[in-house]
Chain A
Amino acid sequence: MTVANAPALIKAGAGASPRRQPRSGFAKYLGLTPFAAYVLLFLAIPTALAVSTGFFTEDGALTFDNVAGLFAPNVLTAFGNSFFVSAVTAVIGAVVGALVCYALLGTKAEGALRTIIDSVSSVLAQFGGVMLAFVFIATLGNQGLVTKFLLEAFGVDLFANGPWLYQVPGLLVVYMFFQVPLMIITFMPALSGLKTTWAEANATLGGTPLTYWTRIAIPVLAPSFIGSLLLLFANAFSSYATAAALVSQGAPIVPLQIRGALVSETVLGRENMAGALALGMIVVMVVVMWGYSVLQSRTSRWQK
C-alpha cells in the first residue's frame, strides 16, 4: 500500500487528499461509521425497542403481564391461524413452484421463456399487499369475474358458506399468488444446478429415470427444497399488508393483532402488548430463518 501511495503523493490530484498515510488502528474503521450508525439507528434500536417494550408497563416498570398475554385464548388462536396459513401456503406453494421449476429444466437459461418467467415471478413475489387484495376482490369477490361466471354458467355460489375470501380461508388462496413465484425464484438455481453427469452415471450403471430421481436428484435437492419451504413459511408468516386490506373483521392472524394493539385507542398500554406480540413473531422468524440458512449452506456446497 505504501508503494502504491507514492505516485499519489507526488501527483496529489484528482480530488484525493495529498497526504495519505496508511491508516492504522481505529482510524481505519472511520469509513464504516456512516453505515454502522444508520443500521444502529434504524434497524438495531427499533428491533431492540420492539422486542423489549413487551417487558414493560406504560410507566416503564418491569412486568411479565404482556408476555403472559401471549397465552390469552385470542392470541393463541391468532398464532395458530398464522401457523396454519403459513404452513399450508408454504407446502402447496413449494410443491407447485418446484413443479414449474422442473418443467423449465432443459430450456435455455438465457432464452425468452426463462427471462419472462423469471421477471414475472420476481414481480409477483413482490406483489403482496393492497394491490393483491384488489386483484382477488376483482376475481373472487362478491362481484368478482370468476364468482359471477361460476354463478351464471354453473349455478355454483362461491359465497354460499359466507364471505370466506375476507377471512382466513381467503388468505390461503390469495397468498399462493406470491408464494409460488417466490418458490420459483429461490428453488430454480438448485434444480438447474443438477449435473448431467449424475444422470449419465445413473444411466450407464443401468438405472432408470425413476432411480435417478429417487436415489440421486431428490436426496440432493431435499435440503434446498426444505430450505425454500421454510423461506416461504417465513414469508407468509410475516406478511401484513395483504391481510390488512382483505380481512374485513377482527384480527385472525398475528400481524393484525399487532395492528390492533398499536392503533387501539380504547385500551391504554396496548403498545406494550404489541411489543410482546412482536417478540413472539421474532422468536418464530429466528427459528425458521436459522433453519433456512443451515439448509442453504448445505446446498451451496455442491452448487458451485
Chain B
Amino acid sequence: MTAAQRIGTEPSKLTRGIILGVVGIVFAIPIIAMVQFTFRDGLGGGLTLDHWTGLFSEEAARTYRGLFQAIGNSAVLAIVTVGIVLVVLLPTMILVHLQFPKLKRVLEFICIIPITVPAIVLVVGLAPVYSVVVKIFGSGAWTLAFAYGITVLPYAYRAIQANLDAIPVVTLSEAARSLGAGWITVLRTVLLPNLRRGVLAASFISVAVVLGEFTIASLLNRVNLQTALLQVSQSDPYVAVIFAFLALVLVFVLLLIIGRVGSSGRNRNQS
C-alpha cells in the first residue's frame, strides 16, 4: 500500500481494477457486437467474410456509388473546414493575442457559443442563409463547410489557445521584429513552427467532427458520409456498419495522434 492509498486519496489496485474492468467490459460489448455484425451471414447465425470482400468486388463500385460519392463529399468538407480554421480562425487568434489582449475574453466567448447553440437550432436559421449562399457560390457540396467551420469553432479554438498560452508569443514576435523581420516572416518562420502542435490538433479534431456530422447535412438536404450511411443502412445494413466501424477507427487514430503529439511536446518542454 502506498502512502497515498493509506491516507485515502487514491484507490487500491483492486478497486481500480474492478471499476475500470466493469466499465471497460460494458463499453467493449457494443463495439464487439458491431464488429461481429459485419461478419454475420444474414439472420442465420453463421459467420461470413462476404460483406467485407463484397466491398472490393467489381459491382461494388456501382452498387455503392452513392456512398463513395458521399465519402468524397465528406473529405472535401473536411479539407475546406480545416482551411477555414487555418485561414480565418488562426490569424485572428494570433492577432488578438498580440495586438488586442483585451479582446481575448470576447473571442473566447464567441468561440464557445456553438456549444450553447446546438446544430439542430442553428440549422433552423441556416436554411434561409443557405438559400443566399447557393445563389452566390452555387450548390456544391463544399459550401456546407461554412456551417461546419462554426460547428468546429469551440474545439479548434481550445486546441490552438492551449498552444498559444504555452509559448511566449509576444516575446518571440518582438524579438523577431527587432531583428528586422516583417510580420509575414514572423508568422511563417517564428510563430507557426511554434504553434505546430496546436494547429495540428485543431485540424484533426475538425476532421473528426466533420466526418461525424449528420444534423446540418440531413436537414439542409445535403449528402455527406453520415446521411449516406443512414440511407445505405436501409438496403444493406452490413455495409453501413462496416463503414461506420472504419470511420470510428480513423477518428480514433486521429485522436490518438493528437494525444501523442501533445504529450511528446510536453516531454520536450520538461527536459
Contact = CB atoms under 8 A, between A and B. Distances in A.
B18 to A, nearest CB: 8
A130 B244 contact: yes
Interface string A111-150: 0000100111011101111110011111100011110000
Interface stretch (B48-56, B71-79, B85-93): B85-93
Given A46-B125, A102-B19, A110-B266, A244 B8 contact: no
A10 B226 CA distance: 55
A212 B9 CA distance: 8
Q: Is the interface of B mostly helix, strand, loop or mixed?
A: helix
A129 B129 contact: no
A13 B255 contact: no
Interface stretch (B58-66, B115-123, B191-199): B115-123
Contacts of A274: 124
B174 A4 contact: yes
A103 B251 contact: no
Contact of A49 (B15, B89, B125, B255): B125
Given A145-B33, A240-B120, A213 B8 contact: yes
Contacts of B129: 41-42, 45-46, 49
Interface string A31-49: 1101100110111011111
B33 A131 contact: no
Size bracket of the B interface: 35 or more
B223 interface: no
Q: Is the interface of A mostly helix, strand, loop or mixed?
A: helix
B35 to A, nearest CB: 9
A281 interface: yes
A228 B54 CA distance: 45
A148 B126 CA distance: 43
Nearest to B214: A241
Interface in B150-195: 150, 153, 174, 177-185
B227 to A, nearest CB: 8
A156 interface: no
A252 interface: no
Nearest to B227: A130
B251 A123 contact: yes
A53 B124 contact: yes
Contact of A199 (B7, B180, B241, B247): B7
A43 B120 contact: no
A240 B119 contact: yes
Interface stretch (A69-77, A161-169, A200-208, A219-227): A200-208
A8 interface: yes
A282 B116 CA distance: 7
B141 interface: no
B7 A115 contact: no
Given A42-B147, A118-B259, A212-B7, A14 B92 contact: no
Contacts of B150: 39, 42-43
The 4 closest A-B pairs by CB, nearest first: A16-B182, A209-B8, A238-B118, A46-B125
Given A35-B88, A35-B89, A53-B124, 13 more contacts: A4-B178, A8-B181, A34-B91, A41-B146, A100-B20, A110-B266, A123-B252, A123-B255, A138-B34, A208-B8, A234-B116, A245-B214, A282-B117
Interface of B: 2, 4-5, 7-11, 15-16, 19-20, 23, 27, 29-34, 36-37, 43, 84, 87-89, 91-92, 95-96, 99-100, 103, 110, 113-129, 146-147, 149-150, 153, 174, 177-185, 208-209, 212, 214-215, 218-219, 226, 229-230, 233, 237, 240-241, 244, 247-248, 251-252, 255-256, 258-260, 263, 266-267
29 contacts: A5-B177, A7-B180, A10-B180, A31-B92, A38-B146, A39-B110, A39-B150, A41-B146, A42-B147, A51-B125, A99-B23, A102-B11, A119-B256, A119-B258, A123-B255, A126-B209, A126-B251, A134-B241, A135-B244, A138-B34, A194-B9, A196-B4, A237-B118, A241-B215, A244-B215, A262-B123, A262-B124, A263-B219, A289-B115
